[in-house]
């Protein structure tokens, strides 16, 4: 470096800061030896503030504008006047640029459920989350209370503490507000403003303010939401009887989606129970007035005792002979085979649901085929 470059560096400083990180709150202007020269130009842009620290003490705060550091209040730090110190000035000064714009879209949320006493549901728990914006309102206090001597302070270093303050105040306010859970969705805007108002004095001690705080969602535990859904369904049904019918119809619909035999059987059973319940609820009268004995066709619906029993299940059988199986055969087929001798008591048979192969004589249903003899022929 030539002598002219050295001298030009000693005569003037150009001090400014252009932020392209979007999350830096404080940045310190680095000058070798922290020596700010007499006559230096300080540029403070909109959305910034410059804090001047001299000999370890906060001296002044500069708002947006262009400043020439050469007034009587500024120390004369030109190293050319200190030959006896070997070009090293004993006056040490620092300039910290503070970002005064809003830091937006910051997240907050309850880590654990909040316990409260709801006027309608009693003791319950809920969670909440949302966003907020933060801004430096007092650069000097923020530098003294939070930043200290950190040369580059970012939003991440303070966001966790701010989230804790928000959650603490939100928990206290929501637990003492007495707002029913069902009405909280309609009051999220007012709750957000109320929380921001209560945490303002705390953040003011840090030199910060929260211009906006939003509550995006307030949710109940899954078990409570499920009970609330059932209660809503009951309210839509109107009374317990209609709710029971509604539940039975839903069960029939679910069973119908099951293509297996079990689902069809369950659906048929529920349908029969629902039909019997409706029959009991029907008035004992005909379409033209009370039922009379001369109107048997309109007298009563058949009761469960008058309904015919279900038809017996017809089994089909398989026969094992010489290591091979034949079938399936109906019971009538086996009866004819017993008559012509192709089916004997020792023939092994099997039907679905039977535990392994058994002889025809061991199956009660088939043993009777060998004991029933035909009547004597006519004229015998």
pLDDT, tens only, 115-139:
888 887 788 888 899 999 999 999 9
Distance CA 91, CA 76 (A): 8
Greater pLDDT, 38 or 285 = 38
Fold (topology level) of 317-370: Dna Ligase; domain 1 (3.30.1490)
pLDDT of 45 strictly over 90: yes
Distance CA 267, CA 124 (A): 37
pLDDT for 9 = 47
pLDDT of 285 strictly over 90: no
Distance CA 208, CA 100 (A): 10
Percentage of the chain beyond pLDDT 90 is 21
Nearest to 214 by CA among 106, 130, 127, 102: 130
In this structure, of 1-5, 17-21, 330-334, the range with the lowest mean pLDDT score is 1-5
Give the residue-averaged pLDDT of 154-178.
89
pLDDT, tens only, 165-176:
999 999 998 888
Find out whether the peptide bond into 101 is cis, omega within 30 degrees of 0.
no
Cα dihedral sign, 33-36-38-41: positive
pLDDT, tens only, 305-358:
566 766 666 778 888 888 888 888 888 888 888 888 888 888 888 888 787 888
Give the residue-averaged pLDDT of 241-250.
68
Mean pLDDT of the chain: 75
Q: How confident is the model at residue 367 (pLDDT cuts 50, 70, 90)?
A: confident
Starting at the edge strand found earlier in the chain, the sheet holding 14-15 runs 14-15, 40-44, 65-69
Give the contacts of 152 (CB within 8 A, at least 6 positions apart). 24, 26, 27, 28
State how beta strands 152-154 and 348-350 pair.
Answer: unpaired
- Answer yes or no: are the C-beta atoms of 96 and 149 closer than 8 Å: no
Q: How confident is the model at residue 163 (pLDDT cuts 50, 70, 90)?
A: very high
pLDDT of 186 strictly over 50: yes
pLDDT for 87 = 36
Give the residue-averaged pLDDT of 208-218.
92
pLDDT of 273 strictly over 90: no
pLDDT for 240 = 60
Provide the residue ranges of all domains of the chain, joining segments of one domain with +.
3-99, 103-220, 225-281, 317-370
Letter string b/e over residues 279-303, b meaning 16 or more CB atoms within 10 A of that residue's CB? eeeeeeeeeeeeeeeeeeeeeeeee
User: What HEC string does 190-232 produce?
Assistant: HHHHHHHHHHHHHHHCCCEEEEEEEEEEEECCHHHHHHHHHHH
pLDDT of 280 strictly over 80: no
Q: How confident is the model at residue 234 (pLDDT cuts 50, 70, 90)?
A: low
Distance CA 231, CA 99 (A): 52
Distance CA 307, CA 113 (A): 56
Distance CA 375, CA 371 (A): 12
**H or E stretch covering 93:** strand 93-99
pLDDT, tens only, 73-131:
454 333 334 434 333 444 567 889 999 999 999 999 998 888 888 887 788 888 899 99
pLDDT of 150 strictly over 90: no
Distance CA 133, CA 214 (A): 9
Letter string b/e over residues 222-235, b meaning 16 or more CB atoms within 10 A of that residue's CB? eebeeeeeeeeeee
Greater pLDDT, 367 or 274 = 367
Q: What is the pTM of this model?
A: 0.54
- Answer yes or no: are the C-beta atoms of 138 and 215 closer than 8 Å: no
pLDDT for 288 = 45
Q: How confident is the model at residue 4 (pLDDT cuts 50, 70, 90)?
A: very low
The CATH architecture to which 103-220 belongs is: 2-Layer Sandwich (3.30)
Greater pLDDT, 291 or 239 = 239
Distance CA 153, CA 161 (A): 14
């Amino acid at each position: 470096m030539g002598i002219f470059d050295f001298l030009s560096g000693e005569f003037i400083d150009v001090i400014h800061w252009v932020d392209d990180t979007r999350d830096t709150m404080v940045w310190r202007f680095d000058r070798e030896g922290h020596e700010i020269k007499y006559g230096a130009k300080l540029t403070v842009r909109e959305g910034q503030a410059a804090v001047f620290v001299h000999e370890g003490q906060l001296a002044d705060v500069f708002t947006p504008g262009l400043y020439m550091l050469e007034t009587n209040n500024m120390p004369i730090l030109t190293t050319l006047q200190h030959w006896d110190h070997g070009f090293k000035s004993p006056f040490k000064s620092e300039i910290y640029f503070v970002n005064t714009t809003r830091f937006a879209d910051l997240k907050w949320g309850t880590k654990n459920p909040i316990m409260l006493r709801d006027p309608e549901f009693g003791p319950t728990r809920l969670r909440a989350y949302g966003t907020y914006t933060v801004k430096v309102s007092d650069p000097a206090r923020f530098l003294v209370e939070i930043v200290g001597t950190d040369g580059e302070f970012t939003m991440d270093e303070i966001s966790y503490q701010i989230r804790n303050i928000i959650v603490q105040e939100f928990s206290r306010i929501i637990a003492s507000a007495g707002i029913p859970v069902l009405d909280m969705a309609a009051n999220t805007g007012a709750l957000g403003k109320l929380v921001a108002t209560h945490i303002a004095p705390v953040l003011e001690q840090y030199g910060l303010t929260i211009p906006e705080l939003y509550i995006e969602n307030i949710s109940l535990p899954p078990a409570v939401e499920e009970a609330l859904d059932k209660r809503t369904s009951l309210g839509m049904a109107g009374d317990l009887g209609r709710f029971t019918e509604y539940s039975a119809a839903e069960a029939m619909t679910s069973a119908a989606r099951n293509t297996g035999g079990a689902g069809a059987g369950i659906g048929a059973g529920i349908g029969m129970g629902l039909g019997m319940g409706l029959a009991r609820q029907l008035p004992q009268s005909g379409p033209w007035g009370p039922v009379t004995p001369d109107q048997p066709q309109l007298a009563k619906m058949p009761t469960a005792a008058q309904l015919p029993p279900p038809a017996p299940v017809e089994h089909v059988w398989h026969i094992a002979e010489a290591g091979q199986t034949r079938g399936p055969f109906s019971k009538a087929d086996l009866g004819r085979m017993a008559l012509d001798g192709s089916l004997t008591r020792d023939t092994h048979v099997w039907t679905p649901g039977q535990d392994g192969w058994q002889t025809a004589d061991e199956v009660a249903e088939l043993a009777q085929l060998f004991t029933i003899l035909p009547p004597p022929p006519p004229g015998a």
